Structures are given as structure tokens and as C-alpha cells.
Amino acid sequence: MIDLIFPDGSQRQFDDGVTGRAIAGSISKSLEKKAVLVKLDGELLDLDRPLARGGRFEILTRESPEALETIRHDVSHIMAEAVQELFPGTQVTIGPAIEDGFYYDFARDEPFSLDDLPKIEQRMKEIVERDEPIKREVWDRDEAIRHFESIGERYKAEIIRDLPEDEEISVYRQGSWKDLCLGPHLPSTRAAGKAFKLTKLAGAYWRGDHRNPQLQRIYGTAWASEAELDAYLHRLEEAEKRDHRKIGQAMDLFHFQEEGRGMAFWHPKGWTLYRTLVAYMRRRMEAAGYQEVKTPQLLDRSLWERSGHWDKFHSDMFVCETDEGEVLAVKPMNCPGHVQIFNHGQRSYRELPIRLAEFEGLHRYESSGSLHGLLRVRQLAQDDAHVFCREDQVESETRDFVRLLNLVYADLGVELHAVKLALRPEVRAGSDEMWDRAEAMLERAARDVGLEFEILPGEGGFYAPKLEFHLRDAIGRTWQCGTLQLDMVMPERLDASYIGEDGLKHRPVMLHRAIFGSIERFLGVLIEHYAGAFPLWLAPVQLVVATITSDADDYAREAAAALQAKGLRVELDLRNEKVGYKVREHSLAKTPVIAVVGRREAEQRQVALRRLGSDRQQLMGLDDAANALASEASPPDLARQAAGALAPRTAVVREAG
RNA sequence: GCCGCCUUAGCUCAGCCGGUAGAGCGGCGCAUUCGUAAUGCGUAGGUCGGGUGUUCGAGUCACCCAGGCGGCACCA
């Protein structure tokens, strides 16, 4: 007998080997009909799986949020069955559920075409209607290998071979089709429903390794109901409208062209946005005790060899050779340069921490296939800084950094969503002892400052473990932007040292940190976050003064000048067009404020303000409007300062050790 | 880099089965001076990403190259 505890707290006994279906049936006929899965101590199991032990037990219907992943997994199997029916000779590999949907990787010589997708979808729907029962079977390992090889499924046979010896080999049969799978699955194909759609074709490497053969991946999305599917497709459309590449084009912010792949041409408006953002960060960092520096764009190969970058990254760097035979690399990052500044002269423990910041351009030879608008470029700049400090300062530096990061994200209207601690990767510089210490120190600092974080083994940087800061945008997508890396390797390799209280040389710890990360990328994220409708302080054009008739031209010029004199970024629209036309055009251009002036405003020395997204008008005296808008347009940090909330920090020449 | 798809006026896009290119927006000109998301009329823009081939004839078919897009791999 086994004891099952139900969600309502009641407890019942059942015979060994009882199935979820039988239990559901013992409760009610309707539940038996609706049940698709069971959950035993948190583990999802097939409805017809005999239960061998007791525990906390729950019967799930297909409406349950937890069943959704299984629905998607089932749909991926249904797709595989459809593909094998339609395209005999295609081998199956794996097909998991993923966020919002599923995919399945197939091996087939002939490529699938986009036109095949509707056919496959059609066949999938037929399979759902066939209501094929899905049954779990446990097979003998060798027999399974032999079976899959005999039917030409080499990848499946390989998967079984690589499974641990003691693992049960489960095969799921759905109708006459079968697949090696861990499960669980719904009781029949009908339960998967038809709220699915195949979305894209892609290449993918077998087992995610580019040395392996490339398979054909078909992606799809699947939901419990048509309504949810429609809502998802609608979300996709909305996300597409926010695409920073489209908005960048429409708002005339930047462009790319063939001759400069992965390198943005920033137009006046885009560059204004860029500079506004960077100016904001400069002030923040200066207030937080960072010192800005500038280091060479090109540095001799020997320095990159010493830093360790040449070994690991030289094929990802732009390298040039002079007539005299020097080999120079365009800097892909600032760290080695900053160490040179740190190393220049002798450092005392009393000077630490030294925080060196740089916003200069970096170049990385990113592979052609990875370029993606502003999100992945070859030329970029970062809000980059390196903090050289003593080990006992790591915690307070981490604390200050996290505080700054939170403040910055709040100012920009984004939300810190998650923190992750990425530990040593397989390929890395530095000894294991160093990594042990660096990881322990960073983890401890993160805990001490009260961060909650997930640990990502193997995801760390080349020479340092890192804390990743993921933010969430307006439509719920997350982006990794901020980073804090604790590096003991580069100070060692580049021989950075300071004189301690004991008069001896010590190695500083080097913290690599950024809040935006790549500024290009961050701007891409911000453009999508705001869908181009930036808050007033960031908007490239903050205000347009638009006339109704030419009678108001002179006054409009005067008004624009007055607004401009207050530091506002103003455009003047005197064109011979109707106001409706001008309002529409500037609204589409996402101008935050339109100041309309006609004869009445000219006579009264007023402006009629119209905010983006609203059709209301606010009539104000010109001087009042200029003052109000100017204060509204001041960047959040300056606004706080003006409000007296934050006194400007005076530079400390030397703190007591 | 790998797989698939795409590449037509400044922008967004239409051009079926091969017979030497269209629309809307934008630009320019003229008229209109019109009170908050598109005033009317007129006009100028392209040889169809680049190349080779098939064909009497190619934007339309085939192949090669480049770029873009969607993934994969990579990401200091």
C-alpha cells in the first residue's frame, strides 16, 4: 500500500501500482476525463504510470500551468511524427519544450522549406484528431540500441549509448510512432490540443557543438488554448514594432551599411541620445569616486600576450601590422590599458581603491552571423571601469556598485530582475587556487550585500568569476547588461602591485564592472523598452514648436529661442502645412512635447503644449512653460541634486587606510 | 563561421506562368494660411544587391559572391 497526500491535506491509501487515472476515477468520472498528468512529490508523471511509492499527490488537468510544458513537449513529438510521415527517411534527434513553445531537431539531407511548415501543421492536426494513445514502455538498453539502429535512427541509438548504465530506457509509443523519451507525456495526442503554430526553420548543431553535423530545427509555439496562442502571436507583433532597428530607422537615430558591418553610423539625433546617456553615466560615476582616463586604441601584441588575451582571443581582435613589422591590436577591452595606468608609479595601500573609468571605443571581430543591430556590434563603447582594491575592500566596493546599479536602472525606468553568479569556465587563465579564492570572495561579497543570486557553473569570464545583472524591460523581456567580475589573474599576469601597511608588495584585486555594459547594446534595449518614446530628459528632440499659420512665425521663432535658451532641445516647424499634419508627423516621430502656436498664442505670449500620447492641450505662458519644461527635462540625477536630495560629493584626495 | 530565407525608387512594399518596372509615404513645384494624428493638383526619382549562365528575350529561371533577416555556434 502507498499513502498519498492530496492538495487539500487529506490522505488516502492505495494499492501499489495504482495509476493516476484510477485515482482520478475514484474521485469522480469528470476528473478522470479531464486528468492528463499527475504530480508526485513535485515530479510530473504520466497519468497511466503505476505509482510505486506514496507522497504529496496532485492530479493535473491540461488547464494547469504545470501541464503546459508537457503540452509543448507532446506537440514537439506530434510534429516529429508528422515530419516522419511526410518525409520518410528523416531521422529524429531531440525535441524539447522551451519558453513559449518547442522545437525538434531533424537530420535530413534535403533542407525543409518554409512552404513545408503549413503541410506539417496540417498533418499535426490530423494526428491530434486521430487521438493516438501515448504509452510509456521500458525497454532493454541493448535491444533499444539495436532497434533504433535497425530503423536507421542513428542519433537515437547514440543517445541511448550515452545514457548512464543504470538509467531506465523509456520509449513512448504514440499510435505506431515511437520515440525515446524521458517523459512525461499526456495520455493521448488529442490532449495536446491544436493551439500550436510552427514558427521558424533553423540550423542547429547536433549536441550544440559546431564540430558536429548540422541538423534542421523546426521551432513552434504551443499553448493550452487558442486564445493564449492568439495572445502570444499578438505579443510577438507588438515586440516587432519595438524593434530598435526599425525605430532607429524611423526616428533617424543611426544606420548600418555594408562597408561597416556591425558598426553604427550615429546620426545627429541618435548621437544626441547617446551623449545624453553617457553624460548621465559620467556624472554618476564621477560622483561615485571614479576617475575617467583614456588609453590607446592600438597596443602592441606583446601586451595582449602578457594579459592572456592574445592566446584566447586573438582571432577575435582586429590586428594590423606596420611597415616596420610591429604587430598592433585594436583594443577589444580596456583592462590591460587600465592596469598600465595603475602600474605607472608606485601605489600605496592608502590610495586604494583606485577606480579607473573609460568610455572609449572598443572593437571586437564578432563573427558575421552573430551581428544583430545594436545588440551585437563590432564597434562599441562601455561604461567600463576597473577598481583596483585590497581584498578587504571587495565587499564595500560590491555594495557601492550594486547601489549605483540600482539607482541607474531606476533612473532609466528599467527594473533589476535577477542576479547570477557565473563561475569558472573550462577554458580560463589563472591557477585553480586563484579561482577558488576569487569565486569564494565574490560569492561572499554578494551574500554580504544581500543579493539573491543563481549560480551558473562554467559561465564565468576568461579570467574572472562574474556577477551578472539582468534587467527586465517594459514588455517583460530580460537582458543581461550589468556585470561585476572579480579578477585576481590579470593583476598577476600584468604584475600590478601596491605597497601595503607592512611595507611589502601586495597584489591588488581588480574588479571589472559595467552597468550598461555595451552602450550600443544598452541603447538598443532602451529603444525597445520605451518603443522610441523616451522620457523627456533622454529624447533627442524634446520639443517642437509648430505654427498654425505663418502669422505666428515670428513669435514661434522667439518661443523656440526662449525654450532653447533654457537648454531644451527644440525644433521649429514653420512649414506651410496644417496643424493636424504637423501634430501627426511629430507624434509619429515620438516627440515628447509639441508646442503649438497660432495667432492667439502669439498675442497672449503663450504656448499650447501637447504631450505625446495625449490629445489634451495645456495653455501656458511662454516663460512659465520654458521654466517648467526645463526643470522637467533635467536628467534625474541633476533633478535630485537641484531638489537638494543629494549634495555633490567632494573628491577625497586620500582616505585613511 | 554554419543552416535556411530575403535583397525592386530616400522609406514601406506590389510585380502570377520569363516579353525591357508600379503604388503609398517622403522629396520638389504650384495652389491653400487652414486651430491639434494625413489639404489638393502637378512633378522628378529605380534597370530591379553584384556577377556569370540558360534563353530570341530575365527583376522574374540556374549558379557564384556580398549584405540583411531568423536560428545555431561564439561572446573578454
Instruction: Quote the DSSP letter at residue A316.
Output: G
pLDDT value, residue A76: 97
pLDDT value, residue A493: 95
State the pLDDT confidence band at A449, using cuts at 50, 70 and 90: very high
Residues 377-396 of A with CB under 7 A from strand B: none
A605 CB inside 7 Å of strand B: no
Query: Going along A51-168, which residue ranges are E strands?
Result: 55-61, 91-92, 97-98, 101-107, 134-139
* Interface confidence (ipTM) of the complex: 0.95
State the pLDDT confidence band at A114, using cuts at 50, 70 and 90: confident
- Provide the CA A497 distance to its chain's centre, in angstroms: 36
- Do A253 and A227 contact (CB within 8 A), yes or no? no
The residues spanned by each domain of chain A are: 2-61, 67-240, 258-295+332-530, 543-641
Cβ neighbours of residue A292 closer than 8 Å, sequence gap 6 or more: A282, A285, A286, A356, A357, A358, A359
A46 CB inside 7 Å of strand B: no
A386 tagged catalytic: yes
State the pLDDT confidence band at A223, using cuts at 50, 70 and 90: very high
Q: Which residues does residue A620 pair with via DSSP β-bridges, in sequence order? A: A607
| Number of neighbouring beta carbons within 10 Å of residue A111 | 9
- Give the C-alpha separation, A585 to A573, whole Å: 11
What's the grid cell of residue A338?
587600465
CA nearest neighbour of A160 among A151, A148, A172? A148
A382 tagged catalytic: yes
pLDDT(A297) > 80: yes
As a three-state string, the secondary structure of A429-481 is CCCHHHHHHHHHHHHHHHHHCCCCEEEECCCCCCCCCEEEEEEECCCCCEEEE
A211 CB inside 7 Å of strand B: no
Q: Which residues does residue A455 pair with via DSSP β-bridges, in sequence order? A: A421
The predicted model gives A363-382 an average pLDDT of: 96
| Given A466, A506, A590, A610, the catalytic residue | A466
Helical residues (DSSP H) of A116-266, grouped into ranges:
116-130, 141-150, 154-162, 226-241, 244-250
A362 CB inside 7 Å of strand B: no
| Number of neighbouring beta carbons within 10 Å of residue A250 | 12
State the pLDDT confidence band at A455, using cuts at 50, 70 and 90: very high
State the pLDDT confidence band at A649, using cuts at 50, 70 and 90: low
* Spatial distance from the CA of A627 to the C1' of B34 (Å): 31
- Give the C-alpha separation, A58 to A24, whole Å: 10
The whole-chain average pLDDT of chain A stands at 94
Percent of chain A with pLDDT over 90: 95
State the pLDDT confidence band at A653, using cuts at 50, 70 and 90: low
The predicted model gives A424-447 an average pLDDT of: 95
pLDDT value, residue A657: 41
| Given A335, A428, A573, A590, the catalytic residue | A335
- Do A186 and A78 contact (CB within 8 A), yes or no? no
A335 tagged catalytic: yes
A384 tagged catalytic: yes
* Spatial distance from the CA of A655 to the C1' of B63 (Å): 71
A600 CB inside 7 Å of strand B: yes
Q: What pLDDT, in 10s, does the model give residues A550-568?
A: 999 999 999 999 999 999 9
Q: What pLDDT, in 10s, does the model give residues A475-512?
A: 999 999 999 999 999 999 999 999 999 999 999 999 99
pLDDT(A601) > 90: yes
Q: Which nucleotide is nearest to A367 (CA to C1')?
A: B1
Q: pTM for this structure?
A: 0.93
Q: Which CATH architecture has domain A67-240?
A: 2-Layer Sandwich (3.30)
A15 tagged catalytic: no
* Spatial distance from the CA of A113 to the C1' of B26 (Å): 36
The predicted model gives A579-599 an average pLDDT of: 96
DSSP-based three-state secondary structure for A499: strand
pLDDT value, residue A654: 52
pLDDT(A652) > 70: no
Q: Which CATH architecture has domain A543-641?
A: 3-Layer(aba) Sandwich (3.40)
CA nearest neighbour of A378 among A424, A325, A421, A317? A317
Q: Which nucleotide is nearest to A576 (CA to C1')?
A: B33
The predicted model gives A115-123 an average pLDDT of: 92
A461 CB inside 7 Å of strand B: yes
DSSP-based three-state secondary structure for A6: coil
Q: What pLDDT, in 10s, does the model give residues A507-537?
A: 999 999 999 999 999 999 999 999 999 999 9
Instruction: Quote the DSSP letter at residue A225.
Output: S
A576 CB inside 7 Å of strand B: yes
- Region of poorest pLDDT, from A98-107, A261-270, A468-477, A644-653: A644-653
Nucleotides in chain B with any atom closer than 7 Å to protein CB: 1-5, 11-12, 31-39, 66-76
The predicted model gives A184-188 an average pLDDT of: 95
Exposed, middle or buried by CB within 10 Å (0-12, 13-18, 19+), for A115?
exposed
- What CATH number should be reported for the domain whose range is A258-295+332-530? 3.30.930.10
A113 CB inside 7 Å of strand B: yes
* Spatial distance from the CA of A214 to the C1' of B54 (Å): 33
DSSP-based three-state secondary structure for A240: helix
A208 CB inside 7 Å of strand B: yes
pLDDT value, residue A509: 97
pLDDT value, residue A645: 61
Q: What pLDDT, in 10s, does the model give residues A26-59?
A: 999 999 999 999 999 999 999 999 998 999 999 9
pLDDT value, residue A113: 87
The predicted model gives A56-76 an average pLDDT of: 95
**Correct CATH for A2-61 of 3.40.30.10, 3.10.20.30, 3.20.20.70, 3.20.20.10:** 3.10.20.30
Q: Which nucleotide is nearest to A209 (CA to C1')?
A: B73
A207 tagged catalytic: no
pLDDT(A93) > 60: yes
pLDDT value, residue A605: 97
pLDDT value, residue A643: 85
